[in-house]
Structure 1
């Protein structure tokens, strides 16, 4: 591939300054209107490139098509990234900083000097010597998850529209809202998208490709206690708040996020609310083995029943709902989709590595909806926190990977 005049860095620096935080408590779609602010900018930039069908729909999705540049009948492929940032950390007023020619030292973030990126805590920094590291200023997340992927896809679109020598079939572009709160594909129009396969650009280390995610359920534990006036509560009050606290404290460490790694699943309380009479604990339940999700929910039930033995008048209800499922069961039926992705990464000069991800992507649900969608690296690290970072060079490699994928599908058709 001829040398590229990359635009990914400039795009990324613009996109991260736009607050697109999603809101799990909202009932609207998208959950926050401000996500459409970025969507409108992306549509305008795509149209300025000459992508005539680029548009933002009522639900906050951006759709676009890069027209074919071949006479071959090539399957339509899609590239997808999400526009929202995590509700776990502020995304308002992001001030990106480029740390040029990284030398291996600690990176102190200027707006909160307690925020220090240390190679011992961020081991991937050791592979970034001489590269240009982008962080936020210390008071917000950066938004590389997933605006790095958005910028990489947008740069790839720019290259495809301006380099007639790159042969490819029709390429669909999809930018989604609300991925961080599990609703990223709730309103996607797969018929309009019309793709045979897709790739989310939402992974971590450069060279990595992921064909396996957690399977995921959400659980809501509702505890009903007994309320009484605190001045006259002896022998009567059974506080749902205190019961909830004891249940959380009794959960096994070896089934917690902080106590698991690799292919191990977990049960994780993510929110607690309520009062003396009724309290609610929201959990996420994760495992690569779908069958183990029921077993993990059973642990919550067992712990609740054990604690409630000391509160005979209190009761509980556990409601479990499916969130997404491991995409590997679908991708294994279409091995060429992953094989082409691995080949594209290798063509950039990186060594492709096939991984499992301890999380989920839009691709998890898209795959189960009939659109096989593995995940490719975007270069994002330490996401959902104030020490989030990405390197310029890794983003450029992601752009190259997207372009190689386009040509590989054309070559092999």
Structure 2
């Protein structure tokens, strides 16, 4: 496992934080540092057709080693890290033979990773964990996925007795800001289907995700001296607050789970004259998703009607943009690609955890671009913050799943039960 540890640490110690305010691709110049390193590493381990384009999208090929025809499959991960928390100067800590007790990430700042709060930790007693030092995120999302793909490809190259078809791999920038698949050339990639290695705990296998939209709501106001404001002042911040209070109660991220959708207010910036509220809208069900967007417009219309005479024009401007859609619609027609991953896990004594993603993934956008793309675990926990960690054994199991999927895909009927012939 030391090779996995060394490779992973060599990736996470390179700062690749993306920036949603940038209009370039990649959104930060520093993402090139890891991208260029990956290109050289892929060449070194023996991958072929290694390319990187002017937007830092990396692709490479592991040629087939069988004579019969096998579908081209792919594995994809992203190398940027979330701007939600600091990704610079990552100092990973290795906890060998974890004893199930509190892990002091940073004694000086009293930052503790505790199983009393993060109960998933207890699953990994006796294993090797890689954690942060409490001052940054770790970057297992998704450098664990990249580690696993590169390690699996190296293993297949060094073990040619394992038979497989042609495999394409792809590494993308800017997934954390929703742009990871925007410039991904599906035709150039040339796979019939692919898997993103971007899930969390061991066994996760996902082919459903949220439909997603972002909303920017601008509230106008009128500033008047507060001593003479009666009937004249319009405080845009208070109107914004009224708007938020009109959203359905109990439908926030912290109060929902499973297939339940939500409205999530994540930015509020205001003054008397103007306030801007930003929120995201999420739902697995497409009809409910549309109703949520309609709800935003209805609240805006209600407030506009209330202030129409006093303000003279719309006082609330709601801008809503769709971000991505539920990949289920594109995966169901080829659901055998999920069954292959499920079989791979079962053959490795990994219990598949098939559940909806309460978020998005490159696979969602790629599925709608013509590349069906379920999501497989990469092993990390507590992404986007100082409590992030990854068990090394989980990364090793992900490597084994990639290898097994490659092996199964080269078998008749992909190792699945042969379809029954019609009588």
Partner in structure 1 of residue 222 of structure 2: 226
Deviation at 1:302, TM superposition (A): 4.2
Distance in 1 (CA, whole Å) between partners of 2:248 and 2:159 is 56
CA contact (8 A) 2:106 2:112 kept: no
Distance in 2 (CA, whole Å) between partners of 1:350 and 1:383 is 22
Does 2:349 correspond to 1:349?
A: yes
CA contact (8 A) 1:342 1:353 kept: no
Deviation at 1:210, TM superposition (A): 0.6
Deviation at 1:324, TM superposition (A): 0.8
Deviations 1:363-401 (A, max 9, x none): 011111111000000011111111011100000000000
Deviations 1:79-129 (A, max 9, x none): 000111111101001100011101110112126543222223222211111
TM-score (norm 2): 0.92
Does 2:64 correspond to 1:60?
A: no
- Aligned with residue 105 of structure 2, among 109, 130, 134: 109
The within-5 A match list for 1:60-139 is 60-110=56-106, 113-139=109-135
Deviations 1:288-312 (A, max 9, x none): 1011112222333444455667754
CA contact (8 A) 1:111 1:139 kept: no
Partner in structure 1 of residue 33 of structure 2: 37
The within-5 A match list for 1:193-208 is 193-208=189-204
CA RMSD of aligned residues (A): 1.9
CA contact (8 A) 1:61 1:188 kept: yes
Instruction: Determine helix, strand or coil for the equivalent of 2:116.
Output: coil
CA contact (8 A) 2:303 2:315 kept: no
Deviation at 1:345, TM superposition (A): 1.2
Distance in 2 (CA, whole Å) between partners of 1:189 and 1:37 is 22
Q: Which moved more, 1:337-346 or 1:297-306?
A: 297-306
Deviation at 1:224, TM superposition (A): 1.8
Partner in structure 2 of residue 178 of structure 1: 174
Instruction: Determine helix, strand or coil for the equivalent of 1:149.
Output: helix
CA contact (8 A) 2:203 2:353 kept: yes
- Aligned with residue 145 of structure 2, among 131, 149, 164: 149
Distance in 2 (CA, whole Å) between partners of 1:120 and 1:296 is 36
Instruction: Determine helix, strand or coil for the equivalent of 2:355.
Output: strand
Does 2:406 correspond to 1:406?
A: yes
Kindly tell me the number of residue pairs found equivalent between the two proteins.
Answer: 409
CA contact (8 A) 2:76 2:197 kept: yes
Deviation at 1:250, TM superposition (A): 4.5
CA contact (8 A) 2:198 2:376 kept: yes
Q: Mind listing any 5+ residue stretches in structure 2 that lack a counterpart?
A: 414-423
Partner in structure 1 of residue 9 of structure 2: 13
Deviations 1:129-161 (A, max 9, x none): 100111110011111111110111111111122
CA contact (8 A) 1:76 1:172 kept: yes
Deviations 1:188-246 (A, max 9, x none): 11111000000000111101211111111111212122234567544322122332234
Partner in structure 1 of residue 419 of structure 2: none
Does 2:390 correspond to 1:390?
A: yes
Deviations 1:42-86 (A, max 9, x none): 101001112232122111111111111111211110100011111
Does 2:370 correspond to 1:370?
A: yes
CA contact (8 A) 1:226 1:239 kept: yes
CA contact (8 A) 1:208 1:377 kept: yes
C-alpha distance 151-227 of structure 1, shift in aligned 2 (>3 A)? same
Deviation at 1:36, TM superposition (A): 1.5
Q: Mind listing any 5+ residue stretches in structure 1 that lack a counterpart?
A: none
Partner in structure 2 of residue 268 of structure 1: 264
CA contact (8 A) 1:112 1:138 kept: no
Distance in 2 (CA, whole Å) between partners of 1:397 and 1:323 is 32
Q: Which moved more, 1:345-354 or 1:202-211?
A: 345-354
Instruction: Determine helix, strand or coil for the equivalent of 1:54.
Output: strand
